[in-house]
Structure 1
Amino acid sequence: MGKKKFPKAKKTISKRDLSERLIKLLERNTKEKLTFKQICTELSLKTHPAKMLCKDILGAMISDDYVFESAKGKYTLNHRGTEMTGTFRRKSNGKNSFIPDEGGDPILISEFNSGHAMNNDKVKIAFFAKRKNQDPEGEVVEILERANDTFVGTLEVSKSYAFLVTENRTLSNDIFIPTEKLKGGKSGDKAVVKVTEWPDKAKNPIGEVIDILGKAGDNNTEMHAILAEFGLPYVYPKEVEEYANSIPTDITAEEIAKREDFRKITTFTIDPKDAKDFDDALSIRQLENKNWEIGVHIADVTHYVRPDDIIDREAQKRATSIYLVDRTIPMLPERLCNFICSLRPDEEKLAYSAIFEMNEQGEVLHSRIVHTIIKSDRRFAYEEAQEVIETKQGEYATEILMLNELAGKLRAARFADGALNFDRVEVRFDIDATGKPIGVFFKESKEANKLIEEFMLLANRTVAEKIGKVGHSKKAKVLPYRIHDLPDPEKLDTLAQFIARFGYKIRTSGNKDTVSKSINALLTEVQGKKEANLIETVSIRAMQKARYSTHNIGHYGLSFDYYTHFTSPIRRYPDMMVHRLVTAYLEENAPSASEEKYEELCDHSSQMELIASNAERASIKYKQVEFMADKLGQEFEGVVSGVTEWGLYVELNENKCEGMIPVRDLDDDYYEFDEKNYRLIGRRTHKVFSLGDPIRIQVARANLEKKQLDFTLVDESPKSKK
């Protein structure tokens, strides 16, 4: 914003004078959007009439499309020409929108004017003349780049033609498929179809079948369909598996001589009971000076996977393992992740290790990052390690109890430094041999889980500091960091307003430690309360998403200035990148790697992590609907977990399954959506349904194809508007 303020406005200022001042101010600040308060301050508008006149002028400028007002109440000049480029967003109701590359509000594109653009396509549009009191509209004049040309759906096959019927809400028309392009598909098959053309005058796109997934409703078919919907792989390439099968497993004496030998030091793994890929192990021994040496040993994947070999290229493309409800889609071939690299008990394994000397106060006195050879003595499931912690008895009880004590001190120090304490209960399904969910259970993070978590955090932080923490006059070498930005102030304000209705408060301003400690106090206060899960969910939404970048800004949630991912190279490609770079920097003193190359890899990894997470959520939603499908007509207690203009989302207390009460089924009144306060308000009765309200529902419909549960209201006990 310009440093120089306008002269103090006269007590009475003309509309023309104020308009000129306002235009000059906006022209002077084209790179930032100004709030109304900032505008008044800059224009020295002190009186109420002057502020109201400014408001009127802004309203007229917005109506004339001369000024934009964002959803957050900020103003900027409209610099649009008659054509713009941006992203096309398709909606099945035909009310498509265009998101300009340069920012600004979305522009309406009717189906008639969409030019057969598909969701997320890069397009060029032309503006229509502005109609008074109407949103701006445009027409797609050119498709610059297709975002996606494959779709998943169910085949409907007739004698001479076929269609792919999709539940994709961003595709308004079914895909026409010539019978010779069906690849043997039959009616009722789930298939992946590629759109090959969409003639100008044709209502439907034309496509060909790429793959038949199986019969709709079959568990494997549906899980593969979810992966295909997100563009994720559901089979592993044979040539990659064959290459993995040719990798020798022998560890030579020459290789052992290069490494620190931990084979005779007490070492074990602690993992979920159904885990097969053990990518981390802990060793512990007491030193002569009575301090403790703790080894965090990580599978040395990059010893076996060489840069740019066929396995590396496939792992780089996938970037992460994917965890659906009933299966894991691994990043690496099974022979590597479950056999060669997995730190299985009683087998000699190559590792890349962070070794710490710690005193009994949990302070790290020395650390080093070294290649090692280890031999795990025991494989613990989390439940087994937890039993040792609780009973103080069992195999390796002395070692586990000491590790747990040190982990507790590390954890306490982390929270004292301002780390956030999100400790949510996860919902899991018991699944039978056919993949059908037969029960629900809640997975809590206990001391055994936190023990492992704390030492993994310590290793990741230490590796990041070894490379990133350099003197003021030096530039750190390139490394992929795991970064987490400060919360969005506006989202924090929204969170504060939301929790106020439950009687809670948080600090939304001040330094980052003040804010994070305030959020932690809130999370502690809500523990055990019926609104705990809801408030934790809304709190998480106020946070930024963690991501990968070579530009380190620290990790707000963990309160670390330096943090990376080093401890899971079997399932995350960034960890493989870090292993290679750290090896080069520490052992060979290699020059810094290409920032451009690694930033691009970081962006790809962040994007694939997000897509994998969305696929995981879709698989959970599918199993929720499948689990509730035989409970139609049954009643459950729940809580309003989301409020939208089209209805109320309700999370059931008993099993955490979520469904919707469509607003059309709230037929006792016409309900209006109060977006700011997360509520629906009856126009006539003034009944209010708010986020967090307890509610009783009946299960009305379970649509597996759409992954959608519909509820109806049983106990109408909403609050009245005050």
Structure 2
Amino acid sequence: MNRRKSVKKKKSATATGKKYQGIVDMTRSGVAYIMVEGLEKDIRVRQKNLNTAMHGDEVLVKIIPQRNKGGRMEGEVLQVINRKRNEFTGVLQIAGSRAFVVPDDEHLPHVLVDADYLHEAKAGDKVVVKILRWKGAHRLPEGEITQILDPGLTSANDVAMKEILVSHGFPLVFPNDVMQELLHLPDRIPDSEISKRKDVRDILTFTIDPIDARDFDDALSFRILKNGYYEVGVHIADVSHYVLPGTALDEEAYRRATSVYLPDRVLPMLPEKISNELCSLRPHEDKLCFSVIFQLSPQAEIKKFWIGKTVIRSDRRFTYEEVQEIIEAHREKEPESFLHASTDEPFVKELMLLHHLAQRLRKERIANGAINFSSAEVRFVLDERAFPIGIVIKESKEAHQLIEEMMLLANRTVAEFASKHRYKQQPIPFPYRVHDQPDEEKLKIFSAFALKFGHRFDLSTPQSIAASFNKMLALVQGRPEQQVLESLGIRTMAKAVYSTENIGHYGLGFNEYCHFTSPIRRYPDLMVHRILQQCLEGKIVPDRELEKKCRHCSEMERHAMEAEREAIKYKQVEYMMQHIGEVFDGVISGVAPFGFWVETIDTKCEGMISLQSLASIDEFRYSETEYALIGIHTGKRFRFGDTVTILVAAANLQKRQLDYELVEVLEQPAGPRKRKRKKS
């Protein structure tokens, strides 16, 4: 597998007057640093020289004389090239004839709002304000109220979720020009469009999704061919047919780059008319797709594949739970027994043969170097007010693996196909999904820690590292150290990103990989569809801005993940507020010089036990190599992965913070339990 070479950043000249383009990284003090690709050190910009630039903005900066000779370069922002975000939450205040919004983020300036742009908002209202213009660093920005957030207690959750979304740069509503474009999209597929496509409506096709899903962007078709091979179609909603480059729809989709999934809502990348209607592969409706159709042997070997535009008609919508029940009921049967199965149980034969193919693909993928980390997802049971009344831990089962393996197969095949195309003897720019090798220093620390549990790592090659991980993950299943070793192992891994520089996907063990299967909720998939169609037509037009677009999509993906984590934390605090004074068993999930975090076993709610609360036990020092706090006098250790019993001491919804107190240390991890304990 090709790897990205470690390139030392070039040190730039520090000549006064030189100009650079970069991204603003704002600190709490108000001083900013401009991150410029290729520079060894970021450029410092003091608050008075920001010239209206805010965190995340793309700017043009000029080097100015340094206060401290020989230190970091200092600069002045000349121009804001691209605003990262221009909407903020805050409180509307009115003083005489002037109205202004005080942003929740204390580092942002007040925003003046003209009476014509108040839109019925009143003094004291919690609002979303959009900056319309900012005439200079010494003047306040001017804006418009785009939404009034109901401050009532019954909708405190709604306000909190909206604040989280806006704070991470995701607009709550679609602009008027986008909504106007939607009106012109046809509801019916014309015969002229169907005639251009491969018609697969007569082949058995179905979707498999979560029970509460509303946008079905992928479907599978299946049939047994006369040559004994299986034809498996992976059909993806053809969003590119409706969302055209240069339209307001496309610009807004690119700006958002991803849908955001919070515990009680989805903020879609595309309006619901597209995501839930036109492009949703609902049963018994003709739909336009971009498809990869495979001929697979019973051993899951690819014998042939076809890529192109199709029209499909789904026969059935399955939930993961329904498919899992079918798999569990027929798991012990050999694949051959389904070839002539009775038709009394529709879809069972097709689902079980797909299941066996998926398990073969999965086994082969792991054997070839993919790392088999397990995953569990927290889902909240909400009442009609979106208040959490329960927590469910969702684990990936065979039904999920069936879809996962088929989507991975399609993504890999599309990336391999695109990688073979050339423009003027050069590889075409293409948005690969890449994942670098683990950090060498983190690996050394982790392998030393894993050795204490008897797991020896071979760090000599990327392949041996992956094999060591998989061996360890198989051996720790169900053992006390499973959670700590899996959690720390994941932390050694690099983050997957989008890039035109194909370094392969280390975690999956693929030399070429991309995202093709979710264009309703990910903009990179839409970019892949467009380039793929150019390849098929032989009309390649390279996008010189593609790497910049990849970086933007990677950054918005990170913002979405941060928003999702914040929303989950909010819900966890909201849930645990009902359990103040109760006792839970938990696992130490993080250690720091000022204390350690504990995640409860049955609810996965993480809280902090501060060093101060441990003062009656001992004084503690922090050991980074042991992931532990160690008592100076007693030698007592609180290590990552230790099982403890905690009392829920406090829950602060505003800070999204849980405070726990230590009750006892357990020798072995216990099963889920909680006990009522009176506070003294």
CA 1:89/1:482 → structure 2, altered by over 3 Å: closer, same or farther? Answer: closer
CA shift, 1:470, in A, is 6.1
CA shift, 1:592, in A, is 4.7
Question: 1:330 corresponds to which residue?
Answer: 268
Would you say 1:626 and 2:574 are equivalent positions? yes
Would you say 1:262 and 2:262 are equivalent positions? no
Partners of 1:626 and 1:252 in 2: CA distance: 50
Is the CA contact (8 Å cut-off) linking 2:585 and 2:646 kept in structure 1?
A: yes
Partners of 1:117 and 1:236 in 2: CA distance: 25
Q: Which amino acid aligns with 1:446?
A: K
Partners of 1:166 and 1:661 in 2: CA distance: 32
CA shift, 1:650, in A, is 1.4
Would you say 1:658 and 2:592 are equivalent positions? no
Partners of 1:141 and 1:549 in 2: CA distance: 29
Q: Which amino acid aligns with 2:284?
A: D
The worse-fitting range, judged by mean Cα deviation, of 140-149 and 557-566 is 140-149
Write out per-residue CA displacement over residues 487-510 of structure 1, whole angstroms, 9 at most, x where no aligned residue: 111121122233334443322x22
Question: 1:615 corresponds to which residue?
Answer: 563
Normalising by the residue count of structure 1, what TM-score does the alignment of the two structures yield?
0.78
Equivalent residue runs for 1:520-599 within 5 Å: 520-586=470-536, 588-594=537-543, 596-599=544-547
Partners of 2:448 and 2:296 in 1: CA distance: 44
Question: Any idea what SS the aligned residue of 1:639 has?
Answer: strand
Q: Which amino acid aligns with 2:659?
A: D
Partners of 2:321 and 2:493 in 1: CA distance: 31
CA shift, 1:308, in A, is 1.5
CA shift, 1:421, in A, is 0.8
Write out per-residue CA displacement over residues 276-300 of structure 1, whole angstroms, 9 at most, x where no aligned residue: 1111111111111111111111111
Aligned length: 632
Question: 1:713 corresponds to which residue?
Answer: 662
CA RMSD of aligned residues (A): 3.8
Is the CA contact (8 Å cut-off) linking 2:607 and 2:657 kept in structure 1?
A: yes
CA shift, 1:185, in A, is 4.3
Partners of 2:52 and 2:254 in 1: CA distance: 33
Question: 1:499 corresponds to which residue?
Answer: 450
Would you say 1:677 and 2:626 are equivalent positions? yes
Question: 2:339 corresponds to which residue?
Answer: none
Partners of 2:204 and 2:85 in 1: CA distance: 54
Q: Which structure has the bigger radius of gyration?
A: 1
CA 1:501/1:117 → structure 2, altered by over 3 Å: closer, same or farther? Answer: farther
CA shift, 1:472, in A, is 14
Partners of 2:400 and 2:243 in 1: CA distance: 29
Partners of 2:631 and 2:87 in 1: CA distance: 40
CA shift, 1:681, in A, is 3.6
Would you say 1:427 and 2:405 are equivalent positions? no
Is the CA contact (8 Å cut-off) linking 2:220 and 2:232 kept in structure 1?
A: yes
CA 1:120/1:454 → structure 2, altered by over 3 Å: closer, same or farther? Answer: closer
Would you say 1:358 and 2:296 are equivalent positions? yes
CA 1:119/1:568 → structure 2, altered by over 3 Å: closer, same or farther? Answer: closer
Question: 2:338 corresponds to which residue?
Answer: none
Normalising by the residue count of structure 2, what TM-score does the alignment of the two structures yield?
0.82
CA 1:290/1:109 → structure 2, altered by over 3 Å: closer, same or farther? Answer: closer
Partners of 1:167 and 1:373 in 2: CA distance: 48
Question: 1:385 corresponds to which residue?
Answer: 323
Would you say 1:348 and 2:286 are equivalent positions? yes
CA shift, 1:119, in A, is 5.2
Would you say 1:404 and 2:355 are equivalent positions? yes
Is the CA contact (8 Å cut-off) linking 1:114 and 1:140 kept in structure 2?
A: no
Question: 1:450 corresponds to which residue?
Answer: 401
CA shift, 1:111, in A, is 9.9
Question: 2:340 corresponds to which residue?
Answer: none
Partners of 2:419 and 2:174 in 1: CA distance: 36
Question: 2:4 corresponds to which residue?
Answer: none
CA 1:363/1:239 → structure 2, altered by over 3 Å: closer, same or farther? Answer: same
Question: Any idea what SS the aligned residue of 2:515 has?
Answer: coil
Partners of 1:395 and 1:693 in 2: CA distance: 49
Partners of 1:177 and 1:407 in 2: CA distance: 55
- Identical aligned residues as a percent: 42
CA 1:110/1:288 → structure 2, altered by over 3 Å: closer, same or farther? Answer: closer
Q: Which amino acid aligns with 2:149?
A: L
CA shift, 1:477, in A, is 2.5
Is the CA contact (8 Å cut-off) linking 2:34 and 2:44 kept in structure 1?
A: no
The worse-fitting range, judged by mean Cα deviation, of 422-431 and 255-264 is 255-264
Partners of 1:531 and 1:89 in 2: CA distance: 38
Partners of 2:559 and 2:64 in 1: CA distance: 28
The worse-fitting range, judged by mean Cα deviation, of 261-270 and 669-678 is 669-678
Write out per-residue CA displacement over residues 329-369 of structure 1, whole angstroms, 9 at most, x where no aligned residue: 11111111111111111111111111111111111101110
Question: 2:151 corresponds to which residue?
Answer: 215
Equivalent residue runs for 1:98-109 within 5 Å: none
Question: 1:339 corresponds to which residue?
Answer: 277
Partners of 1:685 and 1:151 in 2: CA distance: 53
The worse-fitting range, judged by mean Cα deviation, of 356-365 and 311-320 is 311-320
Partners of 2:49 and 2:541 in 1: CA distance: 50
CA shift, 1:192, in A, is 4.6
Structure 2: tracts of 5 or more residues without a match: 1-6, 331-343, 669-680
Q: Which amino acid aligns with 1:648?
A: F
Structure 1: tracts of 5 or more residues without a match: 1-30, 34-75, 131-135
Write out per-residue CA displacement over residues 299-349 of structure 1, whole angstroms, 9 at most, x where no aligned residue: 111122222222122212211111111111111111111111111111111
The worse-fitting range, judged by mean Cα deviation, of 417-426 and 152-161 is 152-161
Question: 1:8 corresponds to which residue?
Answer: none
Would you say 1:636 and 2:587 are equivalent positions? no
Equivalent residue runs for 1:67-106 within 5 Å: none
Equivalent residue runs for 1:113-512 within 5 Å: 142-143=76-77, 152=88, 155=91, 171=106, 183=118, 184-187=121-124, 189=126, 191-192=128-129, 210-211=145-146, 212-215=148-151, 218-392=156-330, 394-469=345-420, 475-507=426-458, 509-512=459-462
